[in-house]
Amino acid sequence: MTNNLSVVVNADAQQVWTMLREPSLVAQWHGWEAEDLHDEINEIYFNTTVVEGPGHTSLTVDGGDVFELSPVTGGTEVKVTRAALDHNSEWAAWDEDITQGWLTFLHQLRFALERHPHGQRRTHFLSIPGTGEPAIRKLGLGDVPAPGEEYALKLATGEEISGRVWFRSTHQVGLTVHSYAEHGDGLLIVAEQLPVPEKRPDGGAMVIASTYDLGAHSLDAIRRQWDSWRAENYPTSVAAH
């Protein structure tokens, strides 16, 4: 179980709160582009069970998980505390997936607010079966340096990328990518997914590429490279943007 569900964002608490309470801004860091993203955001952050804490310092979202905002040196610490696990819930088997998802989204929140506070991201998403070598190593990301350090490498997709390591955890790697934005950089996250008995017995992985202000040709080229790699290495998987 992942316990350290927190990031320090170089922004004040009110800026972070705004990113949590405006649906169009939540879409800049929660999840990835999908037909049901709008409905998912409304269900998690804006339905009648959601509770805003006093002074805009906490937010209890649908399901009981709690965001807490605390001023610290360097900005605002944003922490997510998971609700107690209900073993009878239909979501019980996916509890660690949800935890890992919050970790991914916290880092996407930090990136969106620090690097593209007024940007509109476009994403490419892959869901990868858990067969063979772990996706992080298969892509050539197993030996990236420590967070904050520069890197330059050639992905197994054939794409040459460079930037800085945004974060690393036991199951995830996040990299800033210069070529994923017209100005500044974009973000690439690869997250391994643990086996779920009877549902996902071999585990898996997901890839989220967040791009900013790229032209249609550049974005399509990135998507084609990722989809070609997926089709070659995981022919039974399904393409998803």
- Is 174 found in the same domain as 73? no
Global pTM reads: 0.95
- Is 128 found in the same domain as 55? no
- Is 209 found in the same domain as 128? yes
- The Cα 97–Cα 1 span in angstroms is 10
- Is 236 found in the same domain as 138? yes
Q: Residue 180 corresponds to which tokens in the numbers above?
A: 């994923």
The pLDDT value given to residue 3: 52
- Is 97 found in the same domain as 76? yes
| Span 131-182, pLDDT tens digits | 889 999 999 999 999 999 999 999 999 999 999 999 999 999 999 999 999 9
- Is 90 found in the same domain as 104? yes
Among 117, 133, 165, give the residue marking a domain's end.
117
Q: Please identify which residue in the block is written with the tokens 């239909």.
A: 90
3-state secondary structure of 75: strand
The pLDDT value given to residue 211: 98
- The Cα 77–Cα 70 span in angstroms is 5
For the chain, how many structural domains are there in total?
2
The pLDDT value given to residue 1: 46
- Is 113 found in the same domain as 211? no
As to burial, measured by CB atoms within 10 angstroms (0-12 exposed, 13-18 middle, 19+ buried), residue 71 is exposed
- Is 107 found in the same domain as 137? no
Among 69, 86, 117, give the residue marking a domain's end.
117
Report the amino acid identity of residue 102: W
The pLDDT value given to residue 236: 79
CATH of the domain at 95: 3.30.530.20
- Is 215 found in the same domain as 201? yes
Give the range of the structural domain holding residue 3, as residue numbers without chain letter: 1-117
Which parts of the chain have pLDDT scores under 70?
1-4, 238-241
- Is 141 found in the same domain as 79? no
- Is 203 found in the same domain as 143? yes
Among 74, 101, 117, give the residue marking a domain's end.
117
Q: Please identify which residue in the block is written with the tokens 């609700």.
A: 83
Nearest to 227 by CA among 203, 202, 211, 207: 207
CATH of the domain at 213: 3.30.530
Three-state SS sequence of 90-157? CCHHHHHHHHHHHHHHHHHHHHHHHHCCCCCEEEEEEEEECCCCCHHHHCCCCCCCCCCCEEEEECCC
CA distances from 151 to 88, 163, 206 (A): 44, 6, 21
